[in-house]
């Protein structure tokens, strides 16, 4: 519930309440509860002049850091905001799925090929790399290369895993996508759809299989009983079951993994996987657009702040210059008055002397110093 409203009804919030919610949980989660996308939520917050947490804010909070929260600025006639609620968010995802171009494709468009002789270049390259490897301690072979697909399966399942990926890649290529080198923390090549990269992985989990101890292990167990409890050792063996994952953790309300089951295998859900990849790409693009828009607004706000700060500093410099000139003007007047007083006091006493040059020289020098200090004299020169 939000603001006392039922989870399946519209939600009405004041500007203050929306501000509190924005700073109480990540925007993706809040948008889902309000029944809109995070892009739409960001637009509403900007319209209402509600500050939003920046990138990395919630990861720092989860790490235990205490970060300041900006105050809610004044806003004329804030009123209330109405949100459709969670059902609308799910309906939006359903609407996206209903408008996907793949909805009109026949089932055989998602068929898994029986042969990889005409497979995509990245599939062929991945197969060639896997053929050169030896199984690890879990009985699987896998590659960790940004140019190749992320596959980690037993040798007997290599052909099947690559055929599943080939079926997916064919659909993506038909939609105008392509395979690109991976980047970031994810391993393996990515599928690029409308300039959005989606990373896939297909793996075969392993299970522990008990076995009898060897002579060496029996001797170690006799010396250290806790080393092999109950006198049994285990070997890891592939299960034969494949799991395919979409490695995009920040996308909401979409399934991100599929696995072989008792009644359905991955070959039977290629359409669902491809359409989920498309939905994921659309959501990721919206999220990246919202983040870019948010960065733009922050950069614009920072630019305005710097401009205002520069104006403030320039005004402060003008004020201090005015004060300095006023003080120099007062000081120059004092020097003028002082020189005149000296001249009036000393001149009569030196009138009958033969040499008045030292006094005249000093008076001219002192008045010259006063003129240097006098900003008014400088202005009329």
Q: What is the pLDDT of residues 207-225, one digit of tens each?
A: 888 888 888 888 888 888 8
Please give the Cα distance from 257 to 269 (Å, whole number): 11
pLDDT of 4: 45
pLDDT of 249: 61
Please state the domain extents for the chain: 11-98, 101-288, 315-380
Label residue 34 exposed, middle or buried (CB < 10 Å: 0-12, 13-18, 19+).
buried
Which pair of tokens denotes residue 42?
A: 């960001």
Please give the Cα distance from 75 to 77 (Å, whole number): 6
Nearest Cα to 89, choosing from 279, 249, 285, 355?
279
Q: What are the pLDDT digits (tens) for 151-167?
A: 999 999 999 999 999 99
Q: What are the pLDDT digits (tens) for 140-155?
A: 999 888 899 999 999 9
pLDDT: which is higher, 8 or 284:
284
pLDDT of 7: 44
Q: What is the mean pLDDT of residues 269-298?
A: 87
Please give the Cα distance from 146 to 275 (Å, whole number): 24
Q: In Å, how far are 80, 155, 257, 283 from 97, measured between CA atoms?
A: 32, 36, 18, 12
pLDDT of 151: 93
Nearest Cα to 156, choosing from 174, 142, 140, 171?
140
pLDDT of 193: 92
Phi, psi of 212 (to 5 degrees): -75, 150
Q: What are the pLDDT digits (tens) for 55-84?
A: 888 888 888 888 989 999 988 877 888 887
Q: Report pTM.
A: 0.66
Per-residue b/e over 136-171, b at no fewer than 16 CB within 10 Å?
eebbbbbbeeeebbbbbbbeebbebbbbbbbbbbbb
């Amino acid at each position: 519930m939000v603001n006392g409203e039922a989870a399946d009804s519209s939600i009405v919030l004041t500007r203050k309440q929306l501000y509190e919610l924005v700073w109480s949980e990540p925007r993706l989660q809040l948008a889902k509860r309000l029944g809109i996308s995070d892009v739409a939520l960001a637009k509403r917050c900007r319209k209402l002049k509600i500050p939003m947490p920046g990138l990395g804010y919630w990861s720092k909070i989860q790490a235990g850091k205490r970060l300041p929260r900006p105050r809610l600025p004044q806003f004329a006639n804030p009123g209330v905001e109405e949100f459709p609620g969670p059902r609308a968010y799910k309906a939006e995802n359903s609407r996206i799925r209903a408008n996907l171009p793949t909805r009109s494709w026949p089932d055989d468009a998602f068929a898994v090929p029986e042969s990889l002789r005409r497979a995509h270049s990245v599939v062929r390259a991945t197969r060639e790399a896997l053929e050169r490897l030896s199984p690890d301690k879990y009985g699987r072979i896998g590659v960790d290369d940004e140019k190749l697909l992320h596959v980690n399966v037993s040798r007997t399942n290599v052909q099947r895993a690559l055929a599943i990926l080939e079926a997916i890649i064919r659909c993506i290529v038909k939609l105008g996508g392509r395979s690109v080198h991976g980047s970031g923390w994810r391993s393996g090549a990515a599928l690029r759809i409308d300039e959005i990269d989606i990373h896939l992985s297909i793996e075969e989990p392993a299970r522990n299989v008990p076995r009898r101890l060897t002579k060496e292990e029996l001797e170690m167990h006799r010396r250290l009983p806790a080393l092999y409890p109950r006198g049994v050792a285990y070997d890891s063996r592939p299960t034969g079951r494949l799991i395919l994952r979409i490695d995009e953790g920040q996308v909401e309300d979409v399934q991100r993994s599929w696995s072989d089951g008792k009644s359905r295998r991955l070959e039977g859900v290629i359409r669902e996987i491809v359409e989920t990849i498309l939905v994921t790409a659309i959501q990721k693009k919206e999220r990246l657009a919202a983040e870019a828009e948010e960065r733009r607004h922050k950069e614009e706000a920072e630019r305005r702040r710097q401009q205002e700060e520069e104006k403030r500093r320039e005004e402060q410099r003008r004020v201090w210059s005015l004060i300095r000139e006023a003080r120099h003007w007062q000081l120059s007047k004092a020097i003028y008055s002082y020189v005149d007083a000296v001249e009036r006091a000393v001149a009569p006493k030196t009138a009958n002397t033969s040499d008045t040059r030292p006094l005249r020289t000093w008076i001219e020098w002192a008045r010259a110093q006063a003129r240097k200090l006098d900003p008014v004299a400088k202005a009329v020169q």
